[in-house]
Structure 1
Amino acid sequence: MSELAERLAPESALAADDFSDLRQAAQRALMQHGFPDLKTEAWKYTPIRLLEKREFQTGAASSAEAPELPFDACLLHFDNGILNADTAELPAGVKLEAATRDDFEGIEYGGREDAFAWLNLARFGQAWKIRIEGELDKPLVLATTTADDFAAAVHPRLFIELADNARATLVEWQAGGGEGMVNAVNEIRVGQGAALNHVMRRSGGDIVRVSRTRVDVVRDAEYRSFVLDTGARLGRQDLNVYLKEAGAHGEIDGTVVLDSKQHVDYHTSIDHCTGHTNSREAFRLLADGTGVGVFNGRIHIHEDSDDSHSDLNTASLLLGEMARINAKPELEIYSEDVTASHGATIGQLDDDALFYLRSRGLPTEKANTLLKYGFAAEPLEGQAEAPVRDWLLAELQGQL
């Protein structure tokens, strides 16, 4: 994969700016380790060799209009992955500014498994910082759209901070066409007593999208994530939640729906870094045609993290003979006074349930859709923001 590293991150393309030393260090790490391959455990199911078949241009905005939202919200539009801050709609309590060197302090990546994070650090355009104070009265939407002719490799980078006792719903909405790549890194901090409702809506035909999100949750703060992903040619999401102080609470609920020529890979982790913390995770995957879904969910309860409680559950449906799903729940526990559970199931639609619906007069296709919807909708129904929940369920129903 060293040839791929040289093609995606040529030395001559390094920007000369206030972050030059960070970029150069990231460049050296990327060239040293290279990109992951089939022997890299965390990436063994992710076919990144697809990138070797594509030529990526320099990123540029397309001047497309911002998407229309189906609910009342404030919008930041990343056109072809690039934000025009002059068009940003910022409500009271939200501040947008360019990130500084201080925001990059303490960033640590590993080896080959973190290659795309190194690539982002070497190649990001403008890094932005969003600070949220108080309680937002409507969602803040970060909409990334790509044009049908999108062929660039772009590397958005965001730092998002909720002040102490703040309340917000944040929606990441990614959609569009083209054969380019969006390689994003987000760093989120949920302040003391704050609560973040984080929604991720992903879709996009032949695009390659790689996203890495780190969330730090401190004392008495809450983080809840809801994911609806309806596929891409290649999609990879790493979501790492760190419960760093007592009273921290983290939840992840997700639904992934795939069809032919789609591959989506979700790697999640929740780290109980101290005691008196709680977490829960539920993920559903449905794969049809030749679609491939991957879910690796990890709960890590560190040493001296007594009175921590966690639950992890994943369930999957194979809807076609050629579809594949790889599911791997993990518990890693180093404290004794904890409760932790995990479970995983993979199966097909229940023939008895299908027969029951057909016996009540429903056509086979309608009965299949109802069963798939009932299975896939459950993780999304806990979304507390009613307009956002209705939108997610309508998007799911349309996809099925």
Structure 2
Amino acid sequence: MNVVAKTETGRALGDAFAVVRDRLPGEGKIADQRRQAFEAYERSGLPHRRIEDWKYTDLRALMREVLPLAASPDDAALSRAKAVVQARAIEGVRRLVLVDGAFAPDLSDWQDLEKGLSINPLRLALEAGDEIVATQALASDVANPMIALNGAMATDGVVIDVANGTVLSQPLHIVHVASGTAPASTFTRSLLRLGRDVGVTLVESYLAADGAKAYQTHDGLVVAIGDNSRLDHVRLVEDSVDAFNISSATVSLGAHAHFNTFGLTSGGHVSRYQLTVTCAGEGSTVETNGVNLINGKQHADTTLFIDHAVPHCASREVFRAVVDDRAHSVFQGRIIVRPDAQKTDAKMMTRALLLSDDAEADNKPELEIFADDVTCGHGATTGALDESLLFYMRARGLPEKEAQALLIQAFVGEAIETIASDELREVAIAAAQRWLQARA
């Protein structure tokens, strides 16, 4: 018989859940759903290295505890958030801002929506007792304790619906801002539902206001892409250097749907991004691309799971990591091809560039194939900068750091070039350049 002893940290979080229950929107079945999700988390607690999917990211050692829930943002917090949002503004997007886990209507462009687009704060939907939204948005993988915890504790987020046949004229931009000066946790969950024949671009940014430190961001995104629809997704993580970011996304594709996603992580002390994509409709296409740019003692984990459940689907994964000092990059990519998913075309490639002797990169590509008429492959490499190229560039007058920066930009360029929008590609390049400049 296995007996699970609850630690002091577990008891403290259980007490905290009871204390903040009044702050969590939703009653009746919604409250029961939260309670069940929290009980699922309590059964295992923070994941650790003995769990295979968390082998390289032991949160019991790295994070140790879940901080208390952040207070609702006051005027001072909103003012600090406004400053950083304006400093990192992206032109031509519809901005939706979450501050310390709460939707900030005065900082968001959620009025005067174009035809076919609907945007509502998650809190309002849950307070109204919308059980359909609750079931979809707060759905939790009970086998994943951090997704279960997020579903139990989510205070707010956005619910976005795009009607059949709608192609949005401007990208949607969800901005997550930590503004508090005291260590605390935020929990958000957003839902994006695309109808048939829809075209949408979604950007997510994680930012820290001036003075925000040692905070924890716990975020979740649930996406349903209808038949013949396309979603382009860009994700930029630029948290403060002592922050924790534990995020997940669950995406389901209909027939002949297309999902193109790019993520860049350059901030945060410890980050973990878990993306699960299910090809549920025949003829769907998935492109997942990412870059880790980390140094110091940063730890950045990208874990991808692509499920080919039906025939005639294709997926591509391209991941790059640049690791300096004593930083640690983790990439785990698993592709599963179900027995009925004949004619699957799936490929995955990850490369890591180590800039110091103490840098570490763990790459773990996996294929699980249960069909016999497929084209699948994966690869992984780890190495250092090419000394001959560095010598060539330095011999022509370039300083060492500048020469390294050019080679690093070329190394990550293959992943960044997959961003469909020219404007958003420039935004990602600018984020990478900020990291390179700070390194210099």
**Quick check: TM above 0.5?**
yes
Alpha-carbon distance, 1:87 to partner: 4.6
Q: Give the counterpart of 1:74 among 84, 94, 102.
A: 94
Distance 1:366 1:375 in 2: 14
Residue 63 (1) aligns with residue 86 (2): no
Distance 2:381 2:243 in 1: 29
Residue 28 (1) aligns with residue 39 (2): yes
Distance 1:54 1:25 in 2: 18
Residue 88 (1) aligns with residue 108 (2): yes
1:72-92 Cα distance to aligned partner (Å, 9 max, x none): 211001112321246531331
8 Å CA contact 1:60–1:152 kept in 2: the answer is no
1:272-301 Cα distance to aligned partner (Å, 9 max, x none): 110010110100001101111100011111
Q: Give the counterpart of 1:325 among 339, 358, 361.
A: 361
Matching residue's letter, 1:95: S
1:121-165 Cα distance to aligned partner (Å, 9 max, x none): 221113531112311111110001112615221110111111211
Residue 7 (1) aligns with residue 18 (2): no
Distance 2:180 2:103 in 1: 18
Q: Give the counterpart of 1:340 among 376, 389, 393.
A: 376
8 Å CA contact 2:47–2:58 kept in 1: the answer is no
Matching residue's letter, 1:374: A
Partner of 1:115: 145
Q: Give the counterpart of 1:184 among 203, 216, 219.
A: 219
**Change over 3 Å in CA distance of 1:78–1:276 after alignment to 2:** same
Residue 167 (1) aligns with residue 199 (2): yes
Partner of 2:3: none
Distance 1:357 1:32 in 2: 56
**Change over 3 Å in CA distance of 1:103–1:148 after alignment to 2:** closer
Q: Give the counterpart of 1:39 among 50, 60, 64.
A: 50
Alpha-carbon distance, 1:356 to partner: 1.7
Greater alpha carbon shift after TM alignment, 40-49 vs 13-22: 13-22
**Alignment TM-score, normalising by the size of structure 2:** 0.86
Give secondary structure in 2 for the equivalent of 1:63: helix
**Change over 3 Å in CA distance of 1:211–1:55 after alignment to 2:** closer
Alpha-carbon distance, 1:9 to partner: 3.6
8 Å CA contact 2:315–2:347 kept in 1: the answer is yes
Alignment of 1:278-289 (within 5 A): 278-289=314-325
Partner of 2:288: 252
Partner of 1:394: 430
8 Å CA contact 1:241–1:270 kept in 2: the answer is yes
Residue 217 (1) aligns with residue 237 (2): no
**Change over 3 Å in CA distance of 1:256–1:140 after alignment to 2:** same
Alpha-carbon distance, 1:108 to partner: 5.1
8 Å CA contact 2:102–2:157 kept in 1: the answer is no
Taking only the aligned residue pairs, the percentage that are identical comes to 28
Distance 1:200 1:318 in 2: 23
Give secondary structure in 2 for the equivalent of 1:156: strand
Partner of 2:403: 367
Matching residue's letter, 1:94: L
8 Å CA contact 1:233–1:262 kept in 2: the answer is yes
Partner of 2:176: 144
Q: Over aligned residue pairs, what C-alpha RMSD do you find?
A: 1.8
**Change over 3 Å in CA distance of 1:275–1:3 after alignment to 2:** farther
**Alignment TM-score, normalising by the size of structure 1:** 0.94
Alignment of 1:372-391 (within 5 A): 372-391=408-427
Q: How many residues align?
A: 398
Distance 2:349 2:39 in 1: 39
Matching residue's letter, 1:136: L
1:321-368 Cα distance to aligned partner (Å, 9 max, x none): 111111101111000000001000000001111122122222222111
Distance 1:95 1:136 in 2: 11
Gaps of 5+ in 1: none
More helix by share: 2
Matching residue's letter, 1:125: T
Gaps of 5+ in 2: 1-5
Partner of 2:394: 358
Alpha-carbon distance, 1:55 to partner: 4.7
Alignment of 1:185-334 (within 5 A): 185-204=220-239, 205-334=241-370
